Every structure is written in structure tokens, then in C-alpha cells.
Structure 1
């Protein structure tokens, strides 16, 4: 009797596992980007629409996007339905918009700009500079 029960469980659960593994990607969405072009992010994604969903590919996608250095956080949400929707949520690193010098009485703005020439407009703000 236990043997038949085991077979029943095995064959009732097995089709669900096969069905889950054959899920296809229906849509890939990228959100959170403000400066970096979606096409630049999409070029780093290995997963493609109409391919079978594979966790290892999604992990690789996240790693590839993060390794660009453009983002301080990359997440992915998997929304299941008839087809899987992958939503990549990126958080861009801040960039230097403007440099303001405070408390300086001895150097002109031009001299300070020459000292900090390595921080042009659009530089990623990975460090805080204090002089």
C-alpha cells in the first residue's frame, strides 16, 4: 500500500516539476534607470524573450549588470503567469553634478577646479572627497 501511495505522489508531483521547468520568458522589463540607456542594460542580459526561464541565466544577468559599475544595486523580480515576466530593478550610482567649495579663502575657484580636474561633470560619485 505504501508503495502505491509513493507512486501516486511521484506521478502527481512530477508533471508539476516538468511544467515549472518549461516556463518561457514572455517579457523583460528594466526599471529604475535614469541616465543609463535601457539598450545598454539590455545588452548585458543573457535571458531572452521566448526562451525557457533558467535561474542560472538570471543570476548571470544580475552579475553582468552589476559588474558594469553603473549601479549600486540590481534586483530582479519574477512574475509568473502564462509566461514569466522578468523585472530588472536597477539603482544607479550618483554622479557629480556640481562641485561647490565652502570655507576656502586662499584659492580661487579656477585654481580649485584645476586641482580637482579628475572630477568632470558626469563622474560617478564612488567616494566622498573632503579637503
Structure 2
């Protein structure tokens, strides 16, 4: 489990140096290439907000999507059940009221809050 792919040579860099690899489009080919330096059967990651869920041979790539940065008021998550050597993965989402949270961007005068609301929250609060 990792926030997003980091090359082995950058593993000890401070987070402020942005050691993460460039985000790739959510496809099996791109993820296979990105994580080619890893041997694990299940690779769970985030950083990129869309859902990624791909199975290929003996490897699964899983990003259940953003927990709050979404175009709708839902928190996405995955349940992973390990049964022997088999994985059972269930993608879920829970609806919640994020109205007060979205209002807080303006109330707290967050810099570029209009841009943040548009890009990270799909203009839900309009």
C-alpha cells in the first residue's frame, strides 16, 4: 500500500520534494509499466482520484478513488478479503452531507477556493 508510485531511488526523499512518479491514465498497461519495479500481488494506491481496479495474471491494481474529492458527496472505499491465496475485492461508496465542508472554503477564505471547488468537488456547492 502506497500513496502513489515512488521510484526506489526517491523512497527516502521528503514529501515536500514531491517524490511521486507522474500520474498515468487508469489503464492496465500504464499501471503495469508504472509498477514494474514491484513484485507484490496486490498494489493499493491513491493520489489520483478516479477509481482504478485491474486484475492481470497474478496482480491486482486497486485505487478505490477519492474519499472526499469527488463530483458527488460520497466517500469511496474498498473492502479486501483475503481467502487463502485468493482476493475478493468489493468497491463501495457511502453518501454523506458535505455541505458545511464545502461552505467552509469560502467562509475561511481559502485561496483559489473557486478553482478547488470546481476541480476537486465538481462544483457541488453551487
TM superposition score normalised by structure 2 = 0.29
More strand by share: 2
Q: Which has the larger radius of gyration?
A: 1
More helix by share: 1
TM superposition score normalised by structure 1 = 0.29
Whose RCO is larger (CA < 8 A, sep 6+)? Answer: 1
